[in-house]
Amino acid sequence: METKEHKFHQETGFPWKHVIGLLLSLVLTAIAFWLALATHQPPAVVITIIVVLGFGQLLVQLYMFMHFTESDDRAWQVPTIYFALFIAFTVVGGSIWIMSFRSIVS
């Protein structure tokens, strides 16, 4: 019988992973707030950067807090979530693209 691979984070000692996750999310949030509210860069530049920072925050949640890669067999949630993100990107990105085309035409 094949042995299953176990990939679990052992919870020993101080919860460094969680503290680092919190600090990362606070720093990314602070940068986004500062860029949007305290600087006067072109809106397109600010929005692009803060959306990228948002994806960084999503990765922090997934990998530092949500035990994303853990499983007692195979981590099926990883392809599931990335597929859902692909659909989300298609829906949102596609909508922005289509509507920007409409504003060019009109």
**Terminal-to-terminal C-alpha distance of the chain:** 66
Exposure on the CB side of residue 49, measured as CA atoms within 13 A: 16
Q: How would you class 100 by CB atoms within 10 Å of its CB: exposed for 0-12, middle for 13-18, buried for 19 or more? A: exposed
Q: What angle do CA 62, 63, 67 make, to 5 degrees?
A: 85
Residues within window 8-47 making contact with another protein, judged by CB under 8 A: 8, 10-11, 15, 18, 21-22, 25-26, 29, 32-33, 36-37, 43, 46-47
Rg of the chain in Å (alpha carbons): 19
Least separation in angstroms between residue 83's CB and another protein is 7
| 88 vs 63: CA distance, rounded Å | 19
101 binds another protein (CB under 8 A): no
96 binds another protein (CB under 8 A): yes
Size of the site for another protein (CB under 8 A): 49
87 binds another protein (CB under 8 A): yes
Which residues form the interface with another protein (CB under 8 A)?
Answer: 6, 8, 10-11, 15, 18, 21-22, 25-26, 29, 32-33, 36-37, 43, 46-47, 50-51, 53-54, 57-58, 61-62, 64-67, 71-73, 76-77, 80-81, 83-85, 87-89, 91-92, 94-96, 99
